[in-house]
Amino acid sequence: EAGVAQSPRYKIIEKRQSVAFWCNPISGHATLYWYQQILGQGPKLLIQFQNNGVVDDSQLPKDRFSAERLKGVDSTLKIQPAKLEDSAVYLCASRGTSGEGTQYFGPGTRLLVL
C-alpha cells in the first residue's frame, strides 16, 4: 500500500511570507497528525484530525498557523506570516482504526525561513 505522501519536500521562504504544506495519508486512515520537528528535538504535535474534525490543536500557534482537512482525506497546513523560528521539518502522520495507535509518517517537508 502507498505510504503517507507530503509535498513539497523542501521550501525556502523569507520571513513574513506565507507557505503551505500538503499531506495525503494512507488510504482509509481516519486520523491525521501534523508535527513540527525543530532541529535536534523530537516531534511536537501541532494538530490532530479525526476525519475532518479537529481532535487536538492545543499546541498550534493559531495566530499564524492554520490547518484543514475538508473532505477527511488530504490535509493542508499553512503558515502566515512565517517567522524565523518556524524553520523546522513538518511531519505528517496517519493512523488507522485499530486501537493500538501505530502512526505512519511521511518523509516530511523541510522549511527554512530566512
Partner 1 sequence: AQSVTQLDSHVSVSEGTPVLLRCNYSSSYSPSLFWYVQHPNKGLQLLLKYTSAATLVKGINGFEAEFKKSETSFHLTKPSAHMSDAAEYFCVVYYTGGFKTIFGAGTRLFVKA
Q: Among 91, 94, 111, 113, indicate the residue that binds partner 1 (CB under 8 A).
A: 91
Q: Which is nearer to partner 1, 78 or 105 (CB)?
A: 105
Paired with 21 in beta bridges are 77
Paired with 13 in beta bridges are 113
Residue whose C-alpha is closest to residue 33's, from 69, 86, 83: 69
How many binding residues for partner 1 (CB under 8 A)?
21
Count CA atoms within 13 Å of residue 27 on its CB side.
2
Cα 95 vs. chain centroid, distance in angstroms? 14
Q: Is residue 33 within the footprint of partner 1 (CB under 8 A)?
A: yes
Scanning 16-24, 35-43, 59-67, 76-84 for contacts with partner 1 by CB under 8 A, the matching segment is: 35-43
Q: Is residue 1 within the footprint of partner 1 (CB under 8 A)?
A: no
Q: Which is nearer to partner 1, 42 or 63 (CB)?
A: 42
Q: Which is nearer to partner 1, 12 or 15 (CB)?
A: 12
The two most distant CA atoms of the chain are separated, in Å, by: 42
